Amino acid sequence: MKKVVVISTSMRHGSNSHALAQRFAEGATAAGHAVKVISLKGKDIRFCIGCLSCQKTGACVFNDDVPAIMESVLNADVVCWATPVYYYEMSGQMKTLIDRMNAMYPKDYHFRDVYLLTTAAEDEVFIPKRIENGLQGWVDCFEKSCLKAHLFCGGVGAPNDINGNAKLQEAYELGKNI
């Protein structure tokens, strides 16, 4: 049994990327893994101010929702990020959280496998690679981890556009086979 943390970064009701996250989580649960889905909707996540205090103390100077999220990530075996695509890149909420988890860098971590689930209104072939490049910088900071898979679903712009899409089953199978 693996500990799986799924971080859903969309703020929108009827989010297509959150639907992928839910299906991934359902697949991982069906396979017997312990799954925790963390939605950033409603979370208090402040911007990093670049003070680097976290590199000395192992903790951020801000007391918001990030430390609890960070602990879940540190103790997970598998981390799955789900994000809508904004201007051919991860959501700002996801990037803000990644920046704030700078305090993780000097700490011990358990996760080895990182997954990425993304949705976009556009469906061009170059989109998945651009998003992967954004996340790869974070993954590279944790040398024992790797980006195992990226599931991209293009052509879903409006809320709930993903309903009935075959990518939902792919997300389930991806979670089931971690």
Give the residue extent of every domain in the chain. Answer: 3-176
Supply the DSSP symbol for 88: T
Pick from 150, 80, 91, 152: which is nearest to 122 by CA?
152
pLDDT at position 99:
95
Q: Is the predicted pLDDT of residue 24 greater than 90, yes or no?
A: yes
Q: Is the predicted pLDDT of residue 72 greater than 90, yes or no?
A: yes
pLDDT at position 106:
83
In this prediction the pTM is 0.96
Q: Does domain 3-176 have CATH number 3.40.50.2300?
A: no
Judge contact between 119 and 84, C-beta under 8 A: yes
Q: Specify whether the backbone of 9 is left (phi greater than 0), alpha (psi in -120 to 50) or beta.
A: alpha
Two tokens at 103?
């305090």
